[in-house]
Chain A
């Protein structure tokens, strides 16, 4: 069995337990209907035709042969799109370049795989054949494929507006930082690169659309954000209330279904044909053209005192936005805020820029910019420790943030910061260090701490709603516009409501993700759903309870404060009297007391000043640490993870089994990122679009992740919970890199840590140690 440490629970009825909920029963039975599983009478099959080149002018497009093919019902191009623009405001108006993305490319192609035409046909085969018949003439244009090239003066422009999407600055100016560096005992410099990776959820992007009564364009899609209905309506030139989006339970999302995927294309095909349409991206299409994680280039200068105290940090980050803005401005903001990690740094200068290239757009991916920087800041501190001859744990302990400390934006942390305990617990969980399995092999232990925001940036004034309705038979309906990626987002709400209203989970019907029928809750992203909708569900349940209480108290002749909601009943504490909720509902209706309630929860808000780099960033942060033992084969450069442990302070574990699952899954995805995964491009062209060539870990590649769940009780979610969806992916790459360095003395600063790269680093180290006394050193 997996080794796990989970605290025991007192004072809660169901919070802190791990019941399997409705959706999990359906998933295990195989009866859950995902987005691609919907079938409707007369349904057509959609297909997106994509550009084959990364940078070109479209000089002509001939679709006549495709239109003439039997079985083809519609072929659409840019001219058929009423409003051919998607404009992101990812920074919320704080200064990114306004660049519109066409739904279908009209005259210019900016990345390989960009959509140029749409097909609807009676069968997938007919749609496929029609796609082959579409004739596009491309005139190649010069492109830029790396951020360095894109920032060169005179570089080809991805957009006429410029190649620099956004620049964020937090902290002091160059002169102040240079002065602080000059006063430091040691300055460690490092440069780090991270790669482009794929979300690789097992469910490809998919959806089915149809025209509902009243002409409503209705899409049932795998999406994290049903609120895209507004953008879809704008594309179709319709009022927002003429588009309805329903989110199916997703087969994974990880941020890759946060932006629109199939939605605009599906909506256009439905709107033109007035028939049901199914659109499923092929896996290879998904690998080629959907959003990826931002490759980062990061330069760090860390100034420290002899005792390891950090005095200054200077960070310059460039993120590759790909060809269109998507959420890059916000991803780079998160990177800029978190670039120094969970450490006190008296003088920082953080700069983060997002730069356009002629590559597939990058956008949200679990960790959202705050994870790439962990790879850098945690290696910097190991280098500091090595250079000063100090213990890496001691160096961190000297610098950890504490509750009440200011972070680089000037905000003070107002909840527990248990990051030091996370480090100790993760290292303890590893146990005795293993010995090398043979000659030519080295074993090393590494760890990495992190901080990751949960909740949206505070100037977005976030809110979520939950509507509870007590039915005549005493069962409850829970409606909320959340979407469920598979992390139990819907089930957690039921568990929170059950805690307050005392109904068994089986008596709570959960209805989610429908712009027409559920109150808006915001998308499932930014590790915000438990924090936001959890608080909304908690508020709704408490408010409904408060409404029911006086009626129950009157019926039972007891004081309101004494009543207990449990087992679908309201009871007096001594058990002398009790009411079934059905009886209570009937009594409410007789007295004209409504038995349903809409609860809306508003997150605390704040403002950020991009000029000074000061202000409010995120509502709160989740802290954690991972540790690993690895073995490196010096002959082959192969790195094997021998044992792995992850510790996070989740505030309060609503459902401990799912918390563990999130942490194990995040760590696993992070280890894949560390050791193997990469979308490889050559001048903007995909070198492979096969899943077989995308090296995500299978069951034999990794050891079990031992989980330590800490509960400070100080999160800002319901019952003191913190978000844990994203935080657990961030530590893995730095953990592995630090363990590899501990094993070999060689530091790999570019991800993924492939055997080739590690052998290169070992060779470089051998040359260095031949010429310099004293072995590996810091910068």
Chain B
């Protein structure tokens, strides 16, 4: 492959327009990381662990399973875009604040993916049961917490 095989792809990340020249085989994960989105993480490359979760037009996807060219024209949200919805600039999103309050992060490697999956769930379903949250999180592995405090944190953010 030479640079001549590269294609132009454009999408937005956290509301900001991005453009990149990519090989057709390059994963969205690699392209996002090269573009400085280090919060989108490589954990397995198989679509199993969920550390590379991003929201593609609002839905959680594993960036390691998508070619970058598939994101053409799409709007991407990473965890660093979540706080854009916060009440005050510089404040964490309520879901992030809840993760802190509940001790829902230990090593923190799964945390961005967890937050995005939870955010998408709460937007679709404002009152999920604990069991429903569990099912929604089954594509995001955590090796540190045993999940309980993550579930606590998400429950804390349900609409009353």
Are A700 and B135 also in contact (CB < 8 A) when A20-B100, A202-B110 are? Answer: yes
Q: Which of B4-12, B55-63, B67-75, B141-149 contacts A (4 or more CB under 8 A)?
A: B141-149
Question: Is A485 a contact partner of B107 (Cβ separation < 8 A)?
Answer: yes
Q: A478-491: contact bitstring with B at CB < 8 Å (1 yes, 0 no)?
A: 00000001111000
Question: Is A699 a contact partner of B134 (Cβ separation < 8 A)?
Answer: yes
**Whole-angstrom distance between the Cβ of B29 and the nearest chain A Cβ:** 12
Are A698 and B141 also in contact (CB < 8 A) when A28-B100, A283-B45, A661-B149 are? Answer: yes
Within 233-273 of A, Cβ neighbours of B (below 8 Å) are at 249-252, 254
Residue numbers in A under 8 Å from B133 (CB-CB): 699
Number of interface residues of B (CB under 8 A): 52
Are A252 and B109 also in contact (CB < 8 A) when A203-B41, A661-B145, A668-B147 are? Answer: yes
Residue numbers in B under 8 Å from A702 (CB-CB): 146-147
**Whole-angstrom distance between the Cβ of A733 and the nearest chain B Cβ:** 15
Question: Is B103 a contact partner of A699 (Cβ separation < 8 A)?
Answer: no
Residue numbers in A under 8 Å from B41 (CB-CB): 34, 36, 202-203, 251
Residue numbers in A under 8 Å from B150 (CB-CB): 699
> Which residue of B78, B103, B107, B144 is within 8 Å of A660 (Cβ)?
B103
Question: Is A252 a contact partner of B146 (Cβ separation < 8 A)?
Answer: no
Residue numbers in A under 8 Å from B106 (CB-CB): 252, 486-488, 658, 661, 665
Residue A32 lies at the interface, judged by CB distance under 8 Å to chain B = yes
**Whole-angstrom distance between the Cβ of A488 and the nearest chain B Cβ:** 8
Question: Is B103 a contact partner of A280 (Cβ separation < 8 A)?
Answer: no
Residue B79 lies at the interface, judged by CB distance under 8 Å to chain A = yes
**Whole-angstrom distance between the Cβ of B49 and the nearest chain A Cβ:** 6
Residue numbers in B under 8 Å from A705 (CB-CB): 146, 148
**Whole-angstrom distance between the Cβ of B97 and the nearest chain A Cβ:** 8
Question: Is A696 a contact partner of B143 (Cβ separation < 8 A)?
Answer: yes
Residue A33 lies at the interface, judged by CB distance under 8 Å to chain B = yes
Residue numbers in A under 8 Å from B43 (CB-CB): 202-204, 283
Q: A197-241: contact bitstring with B at CB < 8 Å (1 yes, 0 no)?
A: 001111110000000000000000000000000000000000000
Question: Is A250 a contact partner of B45 (Cβ separation < 8 A)?
Answer: no
| Total CB contacts across the A-B interface at under 8 A | 170
Within 99-131 of B, Cβ neighbours of A (below 8 Å) are at 99-103, 105-112, 115
A29 to B145 Cα, complex, angstroms: 18
Q: A624-654: contact bitstring with B at CB < 8 Å (1 yes, 0 no)?
A: 0000000000000000000000000000000
A327 to B115 Cα, complex, angstroms: 37
Residue A185 lies at the interface, judged by CB distance under 8 Å to chain B = no
Residue B16 lies at the interface, judged by CB distance under 8 Å to chain A = no
Question: Is B92 a contact partner of A29 (Cβ separation < 8 A)?
Answer: yes
Residue numbers in A under 8 Å from B30 (CB-CB): 124
Residue B17 lies at the interface, judged by CB distance under 8 Å to chain A = no
Q: B71-107: contact bitstring with A at CB < 8 Å (1 yes, 0 no)?
A: 0000000111001000000001000100111110111
**Whole-angstrom distance between the Cβ of A84 and the nearest chain B Cβ:** 30
Residue numbers in B under 8 Å from A667 (CB-CB): 146
Question: Is A700 a contact partner of B138 (Cβ separation < 8 A)?
Answer: yes
Residue A692 lies at the interface, judged by CB distance under 8 Å to chain B = yes
Residue A24 lies at the interface, judged by CB distance under 8 Å to chain B = yes
Known: A2-B148, A699-B133, A702-B146. 18 other contacts (CB 8 A): A20-B100, A24-B108, A26-B108, A28-B96, A124-B30, A200-B143, A202-B49, A203-B41, A203-B43, A252-B106, A283-B46, A284-B45, A488-B106, A661-B145, A661-B149, A668-B147, A691-B44, A699-B147
Ordered by A's residue number, 21 sampled pairs between the chains whose C-beta atoms are within 8 Å are A34-B38, A200-B143, A201-B107, A202-B41, A202-B110, A203-B107, A203-B109, A250-B107, A251-B41, A252-B143, A485-B107, A657-B149, A658-B103, A660-B103, A661-B106, A665-B143, A669-B146, A699-B138, A699-B140, A699-B147, A704-B146
